[in-house]
Amino acid sequence: MLGSALVVLAPSMLPGWALSSVLDGSSDRFRKALLAPALGLLLFYGVSGTLVLFDVWSPVLLMMAMLGLNAAAYRMIHQRHEVIAKRSRWQLLEAAMHGELSEENTSTSLSEEAEIQLTFQRSRSTWLFALSFFIASTALLSPLLQNLPFGVDWIGFAMLTQQLVLDGNLTLPGTNDGFWTYPPAYPSVAAWVVELTGIDAGHAVFHLGHYTLFVLLLGIIGAMDRHGAGAHAMFAMGLGIALFAKTFDSGFPSVASQLGLVVGILVLFRHAEQRQRHHTLGLCLALYSVALIHPTGAIYLSLLLLSHVMHGLAMDNEEHRELLRKLMYISSAFITIGFAVALLVIAPRLFDEAVFSEYGWQGGRPLLVYNGVLFVFAGVAAFGLRSTLEGRIAMTWFALLWVLSVVHLVEGLRFIPVLSLLSYTLYSMALHAFHVPLAVLLAWWWSPDTALTPVDEKPLKPWVMPQPVSMALVGLIVLGSLMAQTVAFSLANHDELLAVSPGDLALREALEDIEGAVYTENMHWGYVWNAPKHVDVTAIPTLGLVQLDASEQAAATQAMFYDNTTYFIEHNMLHALTSPLGTMQWTLATSPYWGIEAQSDGATLWSLHPDGDGKVLLLDGIHESDCLACENRLDPWRNHKFRDPMGLGDDRPFLPEGTDGSLSVSAPANAVEMCLIYEVIGSTGGLYLQASNGLERPYHGLRTDAGYHQACFNVGNGSELTEVVLEWDRSAPDRWLNPLGLSGRDTVLFDRTGVKPQWLTWSTVE
């Protein structure tokens, strides 16, 4: 994790420092240190995404581009005109902050801004900032505890990253012809991490995602420090779980696109006379860079800009209006270009797609689930800030975002491409649209040191959060942060939550010795992001928009069902890779045309047997009626399994740790080996299998690390083998917080450790 962060921070820190100086000349070193990683990473994303956009991406060219950017940043920071009149306004403000200008060389607005910012900097609370930094740093904990992220989106990002590493573009890999249409910035920076550190693409997207969340939080603290509410901004972010949950669920690009809001907060929540041309240019640069990360961030930043313009035009000052008109013209050009690309290039490809909403109306229950507590406090803050310009801009910004969520109320509506595109872009906006706007509102009310602008030019009577309430909330947030890390430590022992099994990961090393095409399942566990260059896999994720001109996936799957060995020989597809999470293994296990070449915990590498001399296995599913002590639990991957030859259904038997249970089995009379495929939930104590009759050895210890496993036993007398017993070392299970209970994949939130027996395979003799 440290190496991944360093190879991103090193080339981006100086450009970020320069951009923070330009956008906020009043910032001291402390604030720059908070802003620079976020702003530098935003620029890094923009440069890397641009190279992919022009189809010239390579690590060498990206390095040269960043060296040029660093040289320009160094010159910008250190070059100063001797003649004061020739200095830019941010340089004058910087000089005023250091007392280098006399009163006659300083304008009234400049000196007022400098005085306000100096007051903010003097009144910083060291212990509050220390707590806020501690809370932000917890974003880095998961990559230190886990090997791979939870969720499923990261697998698609890893596939894009690997393709950029191998070919420098987003063409489809393996046996597929076509290309992905997806914002290129995030996977291309992840590819940079792969190239410089040598880690695989899955780890790179994981590390980059959490590093991005960390620097985003630092950037928000730095941007709000300009309003005297830096530490309180982090506390306000802690009252919501949306962005944290989105990162936990591996939605890394949509979280990364929030980096543009750091620029928005710096530029758009300020007095009109304090905003200069360089602020507008910085805003345009942020819009461009964010669009290359994920369109959601560009939409959110554009709506903040719209809110800013709406309230600015309502002011009586004609000079302010003229400044806003210039900003509006430039931003309108960017927005028009974005809409033109969306409507003319992307939307037509969605003509047959319906409006989509995975979690329901995003402005309703999902908003309350992920931001409910923050929403309540921000509502109180909105009432207190209703007479301030900044408060009204933030409230209007939130309202515009909420109105945008209405697109999810027309789910299923077809043949309106622009609505379909918008719904797919914003499909989980409750997790990433409302968190920052609500936190900004609350932080201003929470901090006692802000200097907001009265709407009616009259002095404002300060109305801030009562001190006892503030201290109680800070304590609760710190406590909640500690509890969240306890949960993170607990979940690190739950590899069964991963979209790939440990066996899948171990078995991919066997692909190094294979040439040609390999059949892989068209599911999350079948997308091999770390396949060797000489191996062509069949399955690819449908990430973003996929232009699929040719593919062997459907034909190969059909050939397997019908034992069409001619097809596999003609296409040099002599191997197949299956996962215990999938279903194709059940077809291959019962076919004489496929044999096991390698196995690891239920994951299997199969080789083609054209003569039909492969070993045929018999399969028996384990149902609830076969385990009377077991409970019935939903299979989290039930919606991703489309064949069920053993009639397992959507449920699986679950035996809690500490509860001994017996499994009824029906062994073939000529059985010589029985293999139990089971899934351990969490890291449990000892688990043992005992059979008083039928097995050569009556007592066996089973693996108890989380995830799928396969245990095989020699059968002595199949006619006597009618029951096996599962026994535990411990007398009671451990409790743990199951995130699948929140996502809907499971029905239990406060879960227990245990085991899920899945099915049995029998080897027989003639």
Contacts 24+ apart (CB under 8 A), 223-226: 223/35, 223/262, 223/265, 223/266, 224/265, 224/440, 224/443, 225/31, 225/34, 225/120, 225/124, 226/24, 226/26, 226/27, 226/31, 226/117, 226/120, 226/265, 226/266, 226/270
Kindly state the percentage of the chain with pLDDT values over 70: 88
Give pLDDT, residue 172: 92
User: In angstroms, how far is CA 72 from the centroid of its own chain?
Assistant: 32
Please state, as a whole number, how many other Cβ atoms lie within 10 Å of the Cβ of residue 593: 19
Position 427 confidence tier, pLDDT thresholds 50, 70, 90: confident
pLDDT per position as a tens digit, 18-28: 999 888 878 88
| Range scoring the smallest mean pLDDT among 331-340, 363-372, 392-401 | 331-340
Kindly state the percentage of the chain with pLDDT values over 90: 47
| Range scoring the smallest mean pLDDT among 324-338, 375-389, 613-627 | 324-338
Please say whether the dihedral angle defined by the alpha carbons of residues 132, 134, 139 and 140, taken in this order, is positive or negative: positive
Greater confidence (52 vs 110) lies with 52
> DSSP letters of 199-263?
--HHHHHHHHHHHHHHHHHHHHHHHHHTTT-HHHHHHHHHT--HHHHHHHTT-HHHHHTTHHHHH
The answer on pLDDT for 612 being more than 80 is: yes
Amino acid at 148: L
What's the token pair of residue 692?
């008083």
Region for residue 457 given its phi and psi (left: phi exceeds 0; alpha: psi -120 to 50; beta: otherwise): left
Position 100 confidence tier, pLDDT thresholds 50, 70, 90: low
Domains of the chain, first to last: 2-491 (no CATH), 502-616 (no CATH), 619-764 (2.60.120)
The answer on pLDDT for 91 being more than 80 is: no
The answer on pLDDT for 341 being more than 80 is: no
pLDDT per position as a tens digit, 702-745: 999 999 999 999 988 888 888 899 999 998 998 888 888 776 67
Q: Strand, helix or coil at 754? A: strand
Give pLDDT, residue 710: 92
Residue with tokens 């409006």: 355
Greater confidence (144 vs 465) lies with 144
Q: What's the length of the chain?
A: 766
Give pLDDT, residue 737: 85
Q: HEC profile for 500-537? A: CCHHHHHHHHHHHHCCEEEEECCCHHHCCCCCCCCEEE
Contacts 24+ apart (CB under 8 A), 747-753: 747/633, 747/634, 748/633, 751/681, 751/682, 752/656, 752/657, 752/681, 753/656, 753/657, 753/681, 753/682, 753/683, 753/684
Q: Strand, helix or coil at 552? A: coil
The answer on pLDDT for 99 being more than 70 is: no
The answer on pLDDT for 642 being more than 60 is: yes
Measured torsion, CA atoms of residues 345, 191, 166, 67, in degrees rounded to the nearest 10: 90
Give pLDDT, residue 315: 58
The answer on pLDDT for 186 being more than 90 is: yes
The answer on pLDDT for 374 being more than 90 is: yes
Give pLDDT, residue 231: 92
The answer on pLDDT for 338 being more than 50 is: yes
* Burial call 43-72: b when 16+ CB within 10 Å, e when fewer: bbbbbbbbbbeeeebebeebeebbeebbee
pLDDT per position as a tens digit, 614-636: 888 999 999 888 888 999 998 88
Give pLDDT, residue 393: 92
Give pLDDT, residue 490: 85
Greater confidence (192 vs 107) lies with 192
Residue with tokens 């309230």: 311
pLDDT per position as a tens digit, 199-238: 999 999 999 999 999 999 999 999 999 988 999 999 999 9
Strand order in the sheet with 603-608: 535-537, 516-520, 573-578, 603-608, 594-600
For the ranges 102-116, 134-148, 479-493, the maximum mean pLDDT occurs at 134-148
Give pLDDT, residue 689: 93
Give pLDDT, residue 318: 57
Position 352 confidence tier, pLDDT thresholds 50, 70, 90: low
Instruction: State the chain's mean pLDDT as an integer.
Output: 86
The answer on pLDDT for 118 being more than 90 is: no
Position 9 confidence tier, pLDDT thresholds 50, 70, 90: very high
Contact 176, 548 (CB under 8 A): yes
Give pLDDT, residue 83: 46
pTM above 0.85, yes or no: yes
Give pLDDT, residue 348: 63
Contact 253, 183 (CB under 8 A): yes
| Range scoring the smallest mean pLDDT among 133-147, 155-169, 312-326, 647-661 | 312-326
The answer on pLDDT for 84 being more than 60 is: no
